[in-house]
Amino acid sequence: MLNTLSSILMRIVFFCILTPIAMVLRLFGYDPLKLRSNQSASQWFKRKQVKFDTNFFHKQG
């Protein structure tokens, strides 16, 4: 009985809450994992240069 109830409840949550949210995000082009191809030669993208701090390594000892 409890297994059936939890299964039904999870389906309701998925189809009534998560599916509409996903459809709205796709409609506005939200792509947090950057899975869409941008037709470039490489999938790499530039990152900010991080300053090397030697004090960071002294804290590890």
Q: Read off the amino acid at residue 33.
A: L
In 3-state terms, the chain is what percent helix, strand and coil (to 5)? 50, 0, 50
Domain ranges of the chain: 2-58
| Cα–Cα distance list, 8 to 12, 22, 52 (Å) | 6, 20, 53
What's the token pair of residue 36? 């869409």
pLDDT for 14: 92
C-alpha 6, offset from chain centre: 26
Q: Read off the amino acid at residue 36.
A: R
Q: Read off the amino acid at residue 58.
A: H
pLDDT tens by residue, 2-61: 789 999 999 999 999 999 999 999 899 888 877 776 666 777 778 888 887 777 777 675
